[in-house]
Structure 1
Amino acid sequence: MSAVERMTITMPAEMAETLRRTVATGEYASASEVIREALREWARSRDTERQELEALRAAVKAGLDSGPALAADQVFAELRARYTAKS
């Protein structure tokens, strides 16, 4: 088991009351359990955000590396011409 370190935290009164109520209902055995779970969820969320950001960066890079962009007016003109020709 990893080493345990004791910390003191400060939070708004509303959060502290919610934490106490949660422990009092028996959902958690201690305030420390609540905080540990909250930190685990926060870490998972951060990891997910980092992965999504990396995927977005890769998509932007792929787009930039794919070649020069076309003007929207040119693209729409070509599409109109194609669909008009098919009609």
Structure 2
Amino acid sequence: MSIALKIEQEQFIQKKLKSGKYSSADEVIFEAFRLLEERDKHYEQWLQDTRQKVADGLAQLDRGEGLDGESVIARLKEQVRM
């Protein structure tokens, strides 16, 4: 596989190499991919958690445990005043 980098990306890699933290461009790129993978995992977990929270909230509403909008707004305004 061949990848063409933009000049800004090449400059970024060179900056990282000059910092002394990395000894090769491959190390910089490997770290970038590792961080991207980590970010994707966090996003997937956040998405799964959010979907579960929505499902829980909808189940609460189905059981009649919801609050009307005016009550929620009043609570939020009260919290902002604190």
TM-score under structure 1 length normalisation: 0.67
Q: Percent identity?
A: 29
Structure 1 residue runs of 5 or longer lacking an equivalent are 1-6, 80-87
User: How many residues are matched?
Assistant: 70
> Among residues 39, 42, 45, which one is paired with 1:45 in the alignment?
39
Equivalent residue number for residue 9 of structure 1: 3
When you count helix as a share of all residues, which structure comes out higher?
2
Q: Which structure's CA Rg is the greater one?
A: 1
Secondary structure at 2:13 match in 1: helix
Equivalent residue number for residue 58 of structure 2: 64
Separation of aligned partners in 1, 2:50 and 2:8: 37
Separation of aligned partners in 1, 2:45 and 2:9: 30
